[in-house]
Amino acid sequence: MEETQRQKKIAGIIQKDLADILQRAATDGGLRGTLISVSKVSVTVDLSLAKVYVSIFPNKDAKELLAGIKASQVTIRHELALRTKNQLRRVPELVFYLDDSLEYIDRIEQSLKGEENPIENRDLLDKRKKS
């Protein structure tokens, strides 16, 4: 089903503000070399749930950082509510997922540069996880 204009608008607002909140929290928490970006937000039709796809670079600490983000979800949602109080009546529940598309693309590029060609032998690359 196609997203409505309202869903797209709310997703855009949430994406912009969450990216700022998460990056500021990372730098304030002492993670100066870490880049956290929100790659995609999709909001349900009833605007009660937002799926947030987070991309973290460098990738080695991604799982721990995602666990930390999930643990402080209430604080993040409160900060988002303060920022969007003039645009949204209710802030949707936030569900965070790790966006591994950059890592997937990097593995494809590394395989193409090497002798192993994933186009000829598809078993070289892992199957992509659907979220």
Q: What is the pLDDT of residue 63?
A: 84
Give all strands of the β-sheet with 49-57 in edge-to-edge order. Answer: 35-43, 49-57, 93-98
Is the residue at 124 inside a domain? no
Using pLDDT thresholds of 50, 70 and 90, give the confidence band for residue 16: very high
pLDDT digits (tens, 9 = 90+) for 46-65: 999 999 999 888 777 788 88
Residue 92 clears pLDDT 90, i.e. is over it: yes
pTM: 0.77
DSSP calls for 28-87: HTT-TT-EEEEEEEEE-TTSSEEEEEEEEESGGGHHHHHHHHHHTHHHHHHHHHHHTTTT
Question: What CATH number does residue 31 fall under?
Answer: 3.30.300.20
Is the residue at 131 inside a domain? no
Overall domain count for the chain: 1
Is the residue at 129 inside a domain? no
Q: What is the pLDDT of residue 119?
A: 65
Q: What is the pLDDT of residue 102?
A: 74
Lowest mean pLDDT across 29-43, 56-70, 109-123: 109-123
Residue 103 clears pLDDT 80, i.e. is over it: no
Q: Which of 49-58, 103-112, 121-130 tops mean pLDDT?
A: 49-58
Using pLDDT thresholds of 50, 70 and 90, give the confidence band for residue 109: confident
Q: Which domain holds residue 72?
A: 3-113
Is the residue at 121 inside a domain? no
